């Protein structure tokens, strides 16, 4: 098994990620999150929200709907142009992203696929005789819109078409005026939004990296282009993004790099765009993007709605459309990065068994502590262990395990990434001490039960 297969297998085995609707055969590019995965997902969102919204004085949050008025997506350009280049296998009619097929065979001398026009991609496919993964000829490239369409309306025949949002960002732009009018913000300030977005992705096999449904954490940072230097705001966010990934989440720096979009790749309205790429097990790929989008989005929403989204400077009275810098990340991509970065295999011990450890930063680990009674069939140990478990649960997410032997329980908690295991044994009944076993070093120490809550609180600061 390669690293990617090992991570996918561990994610299923330990309750992080399951294929959606598996009992019916699943849905391509769709996954559910199990008990451990749900905790991890929540921790990522909470820690992002704390660092990018609550800890800052210049940010506020929003929680906007998945279904917006369809005009929003016409204004944003998604209805007209939110598409991927798609080719079809002419024999079995399976569809593929043309750029992804090209990416697989591109060599260093070639132009990068991000810079190719549709005609250039068509020529490249022909010149290199690229076939479908099943070995059949491919159609010419067609544009494939990624927005999911649905309808609202109770009476049949009177339904109107709406879209599931393709990004959380537009909910921020359409509420810009409401935030101005209902809170005390003044430029420069940012608005953050976390929530589900939907894209009809056809490329399969990338696990939770590219899915139909995913959660985005997006920020729109509004400023006056005449009084703020966009380069300073842009660089400030790049630093915050990098710090969040390396210091807060504890991801290795050598697995991260910035990639600047070339003029050809960048959207026409953007003045500068960078991707923070992570070295995923299947290659360097975008984790988090940051773009200087000028006043494009507010202007578009203003033109299409006919409502002013201008800002009035409180001192000079000058009226203008603010400019915006947008850092946008997928929570599920952060999740996959964390699994990949934290996965480690310690050499086999005397039993010949390799120790798989998910070395997650304790702050984001799904469970902080696992509590075990040494023996599950001794009522006095069970009772004491339950009381320790309930005390610790008051302050943090704690898990319980009384199955099998202690070795197997450690093995399971290491794979889940639980930083500490606490065992209640016969000595506990005599002197009120327990053993704490550290996930990364495997070392054990004894500690008084009364000291445990403070000890873990200190470790988690």
Binding range to ligand GAP, per CB under 6 A, among 71-79, 129-137, 236-244, 329-337: 329-337
How many DSSP H helices and E strands does the chain contain? 15, 23
Using CB under 6 A, which of 328, 357, 392, 421 touches ligand GAP?
328
211 touches ligand GAP (CB under 6 A): yes
Distance CA 439, CA 53 (A): 32
Place of tokens 């203003």: 302
Nearest to 288 by CA among 280, 299, 296: 280
State the minimum distance, in angstroms, from the CB of residue 216 to ligand GAP.
Answer: 5
State the minimum distance, in angstroms, from the CB of residue 198 to ligand GAP.
Answer: 9
329 touches ligand GAP (CB under 6 A): yes
Q: What single DSSP character describes residue 67?
A: B
Q: Do residues 66 and 195 touch, judged by C-beta distance below 8 A?
A: yes
Q: Do residues 200 and 146 touch, judged by C-beta distance below 8 A?
A: yes
289 touches ligand GAP (CB under 6 A): yes
State the minimum distance, in angstroms, from the CB of residue 336 to ligand GAP.
Answer: 9
Binding range to ligand GAP, per CB under 6 A, among 18-26, 125-133, 186-194, 287-295: 287-295
Question: Two tokens at 428?
Answer: 């506990």
Binding range to ligand GAP, per CB under 6 A, among 49-57, 61-69, 258-266, 323-331: 323-331
Subset of 2-41 contacting ligand GAP (CB under 6 A):
none
Distance CA 164, CA 79 (A): 12
- Name which of 85 and 362 has its Cβ closer to ligand GAP: 85
Q: Do residues 201 and 238 touch, judged by C-beta distance below 8 A?
A: no
State the minimum distance, in angstroms, from the CB of residue 42 to ligand GAP.
Answer: 17
384 touches ligand GAP (CB under 6 A): no
| Chain CA centroid to CA 150, Å | 25
Distance CA 439, CA 413 (A): 8
Using CB under 6 A, which of 72, 122, 216, 418 touches ligand GAP?
216
Nearest to 218 by CA among 322, 134, 301, 293: 293
Q: Do residues 189 and 221 touch, judged by C-beta distance below 8 A?
A: yes
413 touches ligand GAP (CB under 6 A): no
Using CB under 6 A, which of 333, 368, 437, 439 touches ligand GAP?
333
Binding range to ligand GAP, per CB under 6 A, among 15-23, 283-291, 381-389, 418-426: 283-291
Distance CA 26, CA 18 (A): 10
Place of tokens 């390396």: 246
Subset of 138-167 contacting ligand GAP (CB under 6 A):
167
193 touches ligand GAP (CB under 6 A): no
Cis peptide before 374 (omega within 30 of 0): no
Using CB under 6 A, which of 89, 218, 297, 415 touches ligand GAP?
218
- If residue 299 lies in a helix (H) or strand (E), which one and from where to where? helix 296-305
Using CB under 6 A, which of 17, 53, 87, 169 touches ligand GAP?
169
| Nearest residue to ligand GAP, scored by beta-carbon proximity | 330
Q: What single DSSP character describes residue 111?
A: P
State the minimum distance, in angstroms, from the CB of residue 440 to ligand GAP.
Answer: 28
Where do contacts with ligand GAP occur on this chain (CB under 6 A)? Answer: 167, 169, 199, 201, 210-211, 214, 216, 218, 286-289, 326, 328-330, 332-333
């Amino acid at each position: 098994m390669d690293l990617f297969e090992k991570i996918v297998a561990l994610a299923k085995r330990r309750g992080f990620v399951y294929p959606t609707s598996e009992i019916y055969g699943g849905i391509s590019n769709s996954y559910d999150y199990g008990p451990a995965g749900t905790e991890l997902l929540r921790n990522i969102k909470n820690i992002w929200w704390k660092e990018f919204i609550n800890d800052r004085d210049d940010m506020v949050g929003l929680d906007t709907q998945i279904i917006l008025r369809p005009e929003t997506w016409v204004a944003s350009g998604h209805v007209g142009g939110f598409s991927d280049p798609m080719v079809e296998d002419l024999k079995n009619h399976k569809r593929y992203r043309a750029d992804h097929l090209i990416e697989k065979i591109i060599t260093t001398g070639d132009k990068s696929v991000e810079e190719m026009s549709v005609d250039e991609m068509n020529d490249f496919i022909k010149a290199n005789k690229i076939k479908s993964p099943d070995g059949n000829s491919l159609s010419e490239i067609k544009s494939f819109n990624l927005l999911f369409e649905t309808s609202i309306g109770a009476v049949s025949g009177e339904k109107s078409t709406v879209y599931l949002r393709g990004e959380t960002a537009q909910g921020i732009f359409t509420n810009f005026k409401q935030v101005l009018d209902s809170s005390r913000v003044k430029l420069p300030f940012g608005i953050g939004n976390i929530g589900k977005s939907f894209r009809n992705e056809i490329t399969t096999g990338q696990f939770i990296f590219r899915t139909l449904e995913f959660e985005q954490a997006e920020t729109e940072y509004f400023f006056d282009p005449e009084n703020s230097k966009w380069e300073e705001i842009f660089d400030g966010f790049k630093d915050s993004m990098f710090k969040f990934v390396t210091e807060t989440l504890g991801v290795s720096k050598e697995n991260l790099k910035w990639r600047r979009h070339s003029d050809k790749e960048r959207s026409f309205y953007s003045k500068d765009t960078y991707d923070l790429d992570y070295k995923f097990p299947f290659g360097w790929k975008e984790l988090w993007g940051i773009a200087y989008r000028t006043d494009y989005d507010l202007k578009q929403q203003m033109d299409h709605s006919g409502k002013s989204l201008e800002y009035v400077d409180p001192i000079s009275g000058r009226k203008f459309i603010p400019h915006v810098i947008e850092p946008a990340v997928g929570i599920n991509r952060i999740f996959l990065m964390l699994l990949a970065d934290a996965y480690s295999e310690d050499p086999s011990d005397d039993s010949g068994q390799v120790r798989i450890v998910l070395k997650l930063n304790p702050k984001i680990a799904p469970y902080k502590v696992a509590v075990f009674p040494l023996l599950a069939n001794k009522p006095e140990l069970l009772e004491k262990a339950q009381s320790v478990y309930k005390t610790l649960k008051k302050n943090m997410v704690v898990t319980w395990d009384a199955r099998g032997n202690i070795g197997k329980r450690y093995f399971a908690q290491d794979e889940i990434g639980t930083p500490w295991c606490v065992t209640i044994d016969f000595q506990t009944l005599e002197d009120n001490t327990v053993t704490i076993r550290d996930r990364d070093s495997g070392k054990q120490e004894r500690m008084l039960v009364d000291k445990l809550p403070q000890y873990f609180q200190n470790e988690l600061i």
